[in-house]
């Protein structure tokens, strides 16, 4: 069965990596300003080009700086009320940063909050397709070796939740690591966390290869 059926609404949720400078005042689907300049725009552009007769609708509701708790707090207005058919979530790097800097929620809280978000989604939108994105980082810019264990712990949790809830899982860290064989880290991310234009292209290709190959 096709994951993205004709007439589907696809929603991207997350933090600044998903936000990618989108215009918050633009709320409609398939608008370049509303999709931002990152991987969401890349994905939507390709699928809208390849499937022009399918009436697909793409929304971006990522917000700069958000953690999984921030997503849960706005989930009804920014997710449930849009009644999407597929939700792609990328969150966790800010949770890791907050803990690394000496604050924020620990791993148990991160997992429990993410589960609450998934449970609410399944309760309110029982037919929705869920895609969990792996939080990632590259060792450049502000990202040091000391930060990596905090991120790795959350990567494991997201992978385990994808298995537990039977969702899709997009291995962004693997894709970024493979890109390092072609160019150094600062070609793909300008600070270790946020992708460059090239890095967003890597994320988009990873998303499409993961989701669409199962479509």
Catalytic-labelled residue, pool 8, 16, 189, 193? 16
Which H or E run includes 13? strand 9-14
The answer to whether residues 115 and 161 touch, using CB atoms and an 8 Å cutoff, is yes
User: Phi and psi of 212, rounded to 5°?
Assistant: -75, -30
- Residue the block writes with tokens 């971006």: 60
Exposed/middle/buried for residue 123 (C-beta within 10 Å: 0-12, 13-18, 19+): exposed
Exposed/middle/buried for residue 47 (C-beta within 10 Å: 0-12, 13-18, 19+): buried
The answer to whether residues 180 and 173 touch, using CB atoms and an 8 Å cutoff, is no
194 annotated active-site: yes
191 annotated active-site: yes
Catalytic-labelled residue, pool 70, 78, 177, 191? 191
Catalytic-labelled residue, pool 42, 98, 150, 194? 194
Alpha helices (H) in 74-214, listed in sequence order: 75-78, 93-100, 107-124, 148-165, 172-179, 185-188, 197-212
As annotated, the active-site residues are 16, 191, 194
């Amino acid at each position: 069965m096709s994951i993205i059926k004709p007439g589907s609404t696809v929603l991207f949720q997350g933090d600044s990596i998903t936000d990618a400078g989108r215009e918050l005042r633009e709320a409609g689907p398939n608008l370049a300003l509303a999709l931002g300049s990152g991987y969401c725009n890349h994905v939507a552009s390709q699928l809208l080009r390849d499937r022009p007769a399918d009436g697909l609708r793409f929304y971006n509701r990522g917000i700069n700086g958000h953690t999984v708790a921030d997503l849960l707090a706005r989930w009804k207005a920014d997710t449930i009320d849009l009644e999407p058919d597929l939700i792609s979530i990328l969150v966790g790097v800010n949770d890791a940063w907050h803990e690394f800097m000496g604050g924020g929620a620990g791993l148990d809280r991160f997992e429990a909050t993410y589960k609450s978000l998934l449970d609410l989604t399944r309760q309110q939108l029982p037919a929705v397709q869920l895609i969990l994105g792996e939080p990632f980082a590259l060792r450049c810019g502000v990202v040091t070796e000391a930060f990596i264990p905090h991120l790795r712990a959350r990567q494991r949790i997201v992978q385990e939740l994808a298995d537990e809830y039977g969702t899709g899982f997009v291995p962004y860290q693997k894709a970024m690591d493979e890109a390092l064989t072609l160019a150094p880290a600062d070609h793909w991310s300008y600070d270790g966390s946020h992708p460059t234009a090239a890095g967003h292209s890597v994320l988009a290709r990873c998303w499409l290869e993961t989701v669409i190959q199962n479509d």
